[in-house]
Each structure stands twice: as structure tokens, then as C-alpha cells.
Chain A
Amino acid sequence: MESSAADTRALLTSPPVGGPLWRRKAFNRVMTGLIVAAFAIALIPLFSLLFEVVKRGLPGMSWEFLTGTPRGIVGGGGAAHAIVGTVVITGVTAIISVPIGILAAIYLTEYGGKGRLRRWLTFFVDVMTGIPSIVAGLFAFALFAIFLGPGIRLGLMGAVALSVLMIPIVIRSSEEVLKIVPNHLREASYALGTPKWRTIVKVVLPTAFAGLVTGVMIAVARIVGETAPLLVTTGIVDSINTNPFEGRMQNLAVYAYSEYRTPGVMKQASYDRAWAAALTLIAIVMILNVVARLVYRRYKTEIK
């Protein structure tokens, strides 16, 4: 939005009012103080959260927690099955979402033009970003229930539900990154006679590579902590299952929730495990976020 002549004129002809200078200055100080206070208040929950998760999660954290499973152990055991499950489900989700998301973003920026498909797609991607996570889970459940019966619980169902959430995020961030690639790079490539698809693959994508990877990693970080869609799709099991096409698969978020909800006779131990799982989740999310930013800084191509 450019400042128009009208705006400047408006400023010039309506000087700040509010009374004598001292009062305006005092009010300014009060408002500044309020803003600073509001910011501090906004950050208090963050510090409280991190502090509490670390404080309550550390007692449950141990090598056994990270590598053992409840299999064969009554009322105890570790969370390895949940960690592996989270990795598998997130992996399958990424395999589904990343190609579709990036290709759709390529369509929107490179091929769409002003066409109708493009406008509908943009509109619907916006709609998709607003789908509540539990609704995505219900969709995956409904989809598989119609074909495989209502009792089915699969790692794949969880991945489908998470894909519904991840695809629009990937599309949005990839679109932003692809838009920034300057046109003169493309035009130079065409001028050399390169067909369009090679231009995209060999010029546009490598230039945008760092941004694309960052966008994907941040999308993964958002997805990794989702509980609700997995609650209704993946089931509960105490052994490690690496096959997303068969059988129930445990994951960190649902594990934390179920340890909290049904702690069994040794309540504190279960609560400890729930907090430890929460801590593990936050650690994974933080690492992904930090690595994403580092990757971006290290690999981004400077556009001159």
C-alpha cells in the first residue's frame, strides 16, 4: 500500500491532538509500558511451559525410556515403540504430502497463469488450511471404514489424516519460495532454448531448494505433535510395529495422552512417562525447527 498524497495531506492537516505536551508524553509512556508488559505477559506461558515440561519430564527420561517398550513388562517399559511409530507415520505422511504439495505449488506458480483451475485451487488450499485436525482424522477413519470395515486401525490411516493437514502447509510455503525466484533466471533459461520442465527442474527448484526444504521441515514439525487425528486412526499397541499397512501403531503424542488418561496402579510412574514423552516431542520439534533454519542459512542461494 503506497502512501498517497491524500494520506500525507491528512497527516499535515490534523496534527496530533490530546492536550498539552506533558500529558501526551505521559500517555505515551503509559502505552509503551503497557505494550512491554503485554509482551512480557505473552511470554510467561512459554517459559512456564518449557520449565514445567523439563522439570516433570526429566524424571521419566532414561535410556530405557528411549529404547525399551512395554512389551513383556507389566505397567512400565519404555516408549521406543511410540518413537518408532512417530517416525514411521511422519515419514509416510511426508512421502505422500511433499511430492503432491510441491508439484501443486509448481502448478500454481509456473503453469497456472490466470486460469480458473488456479483460482479454485488457491481458494481451496486456503480452505484446507482451516480444517480442524480432528476432522482430518475423522475423514481418514471414514475413508478406510467404508472400504475395510469400522474396526480397522492402521499406521497408514494416521498418515492419510496428517497428509490432509500437511499438504496445504507445504503448498503455501513452497508457493512463497517459488514466487521469490526471480523471473530473469527463468527467462535466461528459455532464451537458451531449454524446455519449460527442464527449466523448472534445473533452474527454479535448485534455486528455491533451501527454502523448500525449510518449508517442509517446518511443516513436519507442525505435524509431529498432532494427537487428535491419530487418536481416532492408529490404535494402541505395546510392541514396535514398523509396517504402516498392517496393524496398530503407537506414536508419541497418543502415548503421552494414554499414559496420562489411564495410568494404572502406579500412577506417578505413568504421569512421569507422559511428561517424558511430551519432552521428547518438544525436543524433536525444536530440533527440526533449528535444523530447518540452519539448512536455510547454509544452503540458500543468494540472488543477485
Chain B
Amino acid sequence: MSPSRWMAVVISLAVLAVGVAACGSSDSGSSSGELSGQVAGAGSSAQEAAQEAWIANFESENSDVTVSYDPVGSGGGREQFVAGGTAFGGSDAALEEEEGELKGAIERCKPGQLIEIPDYISPIAVVYNLPSVETLQLSPETLAKIFNQEITSWDDQAIAADNPGVELPSTRITPVNRSDESGTTENFVDYLSKAAPSVWKYPVDGNWPVKGGEAAQGTSGVVEAVGAGEGAIGYADESQAGELGIAKIKVGSEYVEPSSEAAAKILEESPEDKALSKGPYMFPFELDRKTEATGTYPIVLTSYLMACTHYGSADEAAIVKAYLEYVISSEGQEAAAENAGSAPLSESLREKITPAIEAIETS
């Protein structure tokens, strides 16, 4: 084939590629909202599904805006926010002094203030697969012993003590945990270490510390694994539990099921973490895992949103403000509940954090 034919092939392929690209990029719609521009956020992957829903709804109302959220994990989210690479960040843990993150974030937001608000609360359910057992009740100590493999069969005395009158089979217990690093693991382990400190001695981390269990990837992996084996028990986002049995956990003297209200309630029962709250618009909570208040469910994952009250570009500030307004609004929280199974923020909490959003300067 002659060189000129060669060139013809190359050129036509290039034209084809450009054509595909041009077709594709007309995907952003034509109508004009007042807001326009691009805003990037990154952080906790626990918030991924919720952020997807928020972004989808927000973009359909504001078709000239592109919001992106990269679920790189809480650590990366904090890193990128402090470095100024993202306009907002998602983090499963409040900013801390360690590694200078808190100071760095406050610096980053100058001359404005740092905003840190809870935007996502998700109950973590303890799911199990025992067709013969309708309701399962577990106290924190029993739960801890099951997951650190001290208790190995379902008819153990400790479990029987929590479930008087229930016929427990002698099946072997298969504990299922997360193989990937996750905020769900971190919050579950945090609960175990605070509610059953005499039994659970492992450090709190996003990586599951006990070797020998079945390790599954992602919440969906855990649910699949528990569903596949009789006698399996695991921890997962309550919204994805599907058909699996959900255990009731002992709070005070009652056994409580995970639910949106019970999960949202724990934030109301928990005090603000004074040590980490360094500004008027920061609301980090110290979850009281040992609470005994009725109607609370303490195994929850709380995720925060970090932003600033001042941005370099007025467009960026306007988009962030409108987006965050939507995120904490009741419609936004409902959308997240539907798509991600989170617990909507309670009205009183919303009132508390709204001034932070309103403080974002858009002029």
C-alpha cells in the first residue's frame, strides 16, 4: 500500500475519533442555569453512592455545571482538600491534628473559615445467615467474641444467654469481614473497642485486624459471602443487607435494630468533639458508642464534608454553596437515603449546620 493510501487511512481514523469525541461531549445539555463551571471533590468511598445521587440530581437542575467526586478514600480526600486540589472533600473521620491535617485545612481556607459538617450517616448492620433463627440478639461482648473468633459455633453459651428460649443450631460460625480498607470496618471496630473493651483489644483501623475469617471485597462482597454460607455472619451497610437476617444489638437494656431514625438519633445523643472543633463552622462529633439512650443504634458510620467559606473564584464558591445546600436539604438527604440507604439528617441537626453553608461568600 502506497504511503498516500496509508495517510488516508490514518486521517480517516483520526476524523472518526474526533467525530466520536464531538458527539460525546455534547452530552452536557443545552439549557442554561445561572450556575456554570466545574467543581471537583474527593474522599470517602462510603459516600460514593450518595454523592452519585446528589451529583446526578444537582446536575440535572444545573446543566452547565459539572461536579465530580472521586472516591479515593478518606485519607486521600483529606490530603487533596488540604493541598487545595479539590473544592470539597469527604472524610469518614473528622480532621485531626496528626499529620497536621487540621491546621493545614484551616490554612487552606484562609481568609475564610473551614467548614466541617456531617452529611452522611449510615447504619451498619450485623447480618447473618441462619435460616432457622428468626431473630438474633447480641450483646457487644458476644459480638466481639464472635468476630475475634473466640466463639466458634452458634450454640455457644454466650449467644444462648443473649437469646433466651431460642433454639440455636450447632453450625460452625463463619465470620465475614472486608478485605479492602474501609470506613465501615473502621467504625465497626471502633464500636467493638469502645463497647466491649475487655474483649476487643485490636487497634482501630480501616483494615480488618483478625486473620482467618472470610474476607470479601466491598459491602456487596460481604453480603454475597454471608448469603452463600450457612452460619456466616458479617457487618455491612444496612441498606444492602437484602434478604439476610439482621441482628439486634444490645443498647443499655434493650436490643435495637438498625434503622434510619435510630442511627440519626445517635448524633443527637453524642457530644461534639471539643478538641477537634476549631472554628465556628466545624461540627465534628465524638460518637458515644456506649450510649444507653433508648431508640439509638450505635454502630453507625458518620461521614463528613469539608469545604471553605471562601474560594478563589466566585463561580466555584457559588457552585459549592448551591451544591452543599442541596446535599443537606431534606430532598437531598431523601435522595441519598433512596440511592445509598443512608439515614437522613434530623431536622435539628440540619438547623445546626445550615449557618455554615450560608457563610460561604459568593461575591
Interface on chain A toward B: helix, strand, loop, or mixed SS? loop
In chain A, positions 212-262 with a C-beta closer than 8 Å to chain B are: 235-240, 242, 247-248, 260-262
Cα A289 to Cα B45 with chains together (Å): 37
Q: Is A33 an interface residue (CB 8 A)?
A: no
User: Is A261 within 8 A of B85, CB to CB?
Assistant: no
Please report the number of residue pairs spanning A and B whose Cβ atoms sit closer than 8 angstroms: 106
Residue of A240, A261, A262, A299 touching B27 (CB-CB under 8 A): A240
Chain B residues 57-82 with CB under 8 Å of chain A are 57, 59-60, 66, 68, 70-72, 76, 79-80
A206 adjacent to B240 (CB under 8 Å)? no
Chain B interface mostly: helix
Bound CA span A236–B73, Å? 12
Which B residues from 1 to 60 make CB contacts under 8 A with A? Answer: 1-3, 6, 17, 20-21, 24-25, 27-29, 42, 45, 48-49, 52-53, 55-57, 59-60
- Judge whether A264 and B79 touch: CB under 8 Å: no
With A150-B79, A267-B240 in contact, is A74–B66 under 8 Å at CB?
A: no
Question: Given contacts A71-B56, A265-B239, are A239 and B1 in contact (CB under 8 A)?
Answer: no
Determine the distance from Cα of A153 to Cα of B69 in the docked complex, in whole angstroms.
12
Q: Which bucket holds chain A's interface residue count?
A: 35 or more
Residues A149 and B85 in contact in the complex (CB < 8 Å), given A73-B56, A80-B24, A88-B21? yes
Is A70 part of the binding interface, using a Cβ–Cβ cutoff of 8 Å? yes
Contacts of A200 in B (CB 8 A): none
Cβ-defined contact, A69 with B27, below 8 A = yes
* B338:A265 contact, CB within 8 angstroms: yes
Q: Are A262 and B48 in contact (CB under 8 A)?
A: yes
- Give bound CA distance, A50 to B220, whole Å: 25
Considering the complex, give the chain B residue whose CB is closest to the CB of A239. B66
Q: A182 an interface residue at 8 Å Cβ cutoff? A: no
In the complex, per-residue mask of B241-257: 1 if CB is within 8 Å of any chain A CB, else 0: 01000000000000000
A263 near B52: Cβ-Cβ < 8 Å: no
B residues at A contact (CB < 8 Å): 1-3, 6, 17, 20-21, 24-25, 27-29, 42, 45, 48-49, 52-53, 55-57, 59-60, 66, 68, 70-72, 76, 79-80, 83, 85-86, 217-221, 239-240, 242, 335, 338-341
With A72-B59, A81-B27, A262-B220 already in contact, 20 other A-B pairs whose C-beta atoms are closer than 8 Å: A72-B29, A72-B60, A74-B53, A74-B57, A84-B20, A88-B17, A91-B17, A149-B83, A151-B80, A235-B70, A237-B68, A239-B27, A240-B27, A261-B217, A262-B71, A263-B220, A264-B339, A265-B338, A265-B341, A267-B220
- Name A residues whose Cβ lies closer than 8 Å to a Cβ of B: 69-75, 80-81, 84, 87-88, 91, 149-153, 201, 206, 209, 235-240, 242, 247-248, 260-265, 267, 299
